[in-house]
Amino acid sequence: DAGVIQSPRHEVTEMGQEVTLRCKPISGHNSLFWYRQTMMRGLELLIYFNNNVPIDDSGMPEDRFSAKMPNASFSTLKIQPSEPRDSAVYFCASSLTSGGADTQYFGPGTRLTVL
Amino acid sequence: KQEVTQIPAALSVPEGENLVLNCSFTDSAIYNLQWFRQDPGKGLTSLLLIQSSQREQTSGRLNASLDKSSGRSTLYIAASQPGDSATYLCAVDNAGNMLTFGGGTRLMVKP
């Protein structure tokens, strides 16, 4: 299995631009997670999907952030408009089931720099 | 709100030494606790997952213990090797798949 796939791996954009991050979970996994990692705040859960349905988005920092999962093999995290404080590494992860029984498998991350 | 703390933040040891990484959490009502490894510029790799009903898990030279009542977990690495150098993250699951991470321990094993 190829593991969790994220694209792009690096993104540099200017303040005010729209940014779209993409994730392909491991085939057969029913749960998908978006995380953000910064030096100041560490690793934080942004949003969690189960069977393509958003379960908890309490970690989404503000309305500029949105996430979708149109099917079981694809998810996007969009930031519009982007700001310099959004600069971070964004990770996507997937797990086989919900309920806390299975480990999460992480993608390599997208390093976002907003100038 | 769950808070997860890892001590020490950084650790440097000579090759071959046995070492212990510590993780503490404030809310003992957990589903499980997981230890991850993160190499520079890479994603996280799961090392061990301890369910709330378990006391410990072992994988090779790694052993993780869990004491829910005291809100503590330890990751024991036996006979450390330079390849073990990485950041180790502890994560607690309070709500079925929603992980709260500690700040990590950055480990360097010197040859």
pLDDT single digits (tens) B13-59: 999 999 999 999 999 999 899 999 999 988 999 999 999 999 999 99
Query: How far off is chain B from A62, nearest CA to CA, in Å?
Result: 19
Q: Is the pLDDT of residue A84 over 90?
A: yes
Do residue A31 and residue B101 have CB atoms under 8 angstroms apart?
no
The predicted pLDDT at position A108 comes to: 94
Which chain B residue has the Cα nearest residue A92?
B43
Which chain B residue has the Cα nearest residue A30?
B97
Q: Is the pLDDT of residue B95 over 80?
A: no
The predicted pLDDT at position A99 comes to: 65
Query: How far off is chain A from B104, nearest CA to CA, in Å?
Result: 8
| Ramachandran region, residue A100 (left: φ > 0; alpha: ψ -120 to 50; beta: rest) | left
Using a pLDDT cut of 90, give the percent of chain A over it: 83
For residue A109 the two structure tokens come to: 């991350």
- Sorting pLDDT into bands at 50, 70 and 90, what band is B81? very high
Query: Which ranges of chain A would DSSP assign to H, the alpha helix?
Result: none
Do residue A103 and residue B100 have CB atoms under 8 angstroms apart?
no
Average pLDDT over residues A31-58: 93
List Cα–Cα distances, A57 to A3, A69, A92, A95, B22, in angstroms.
24, 13, 14, 17, 30
Do residue A99 and residue B97 have CB atoms under 8 angstroms apart?
yes
For testing contact with chain A, the best of B97, B100, B101, B105 (most A CBs within 10 A): B97
Using a pLDDT cut of 90, give the percent of chain B over it: 85
The predicted pLDDT at position B9 comes to: 94
Contact A111/A12 with Cβ under 8 angstroms?
A: no
Q: Is the pLDDT of residue B86 over 90?
A: yes
B59 contact A CB<8A: no
Average pLDDT over residues A25-31: 94
The predicted pLDDT at position A1 comes to: 64
Nearest beta carbon to residue A42 from set B45, B97, B103? B103
The predicted pLDDT at position B36 comes to: 96
B51 contacts on A by Cβ (under 8 Å): 101
A57 contact B CB<8A: no
DSSP helix/strand/coil, B83: helix
Q: Is the pLDDT of residue A61 over 90?
A: no
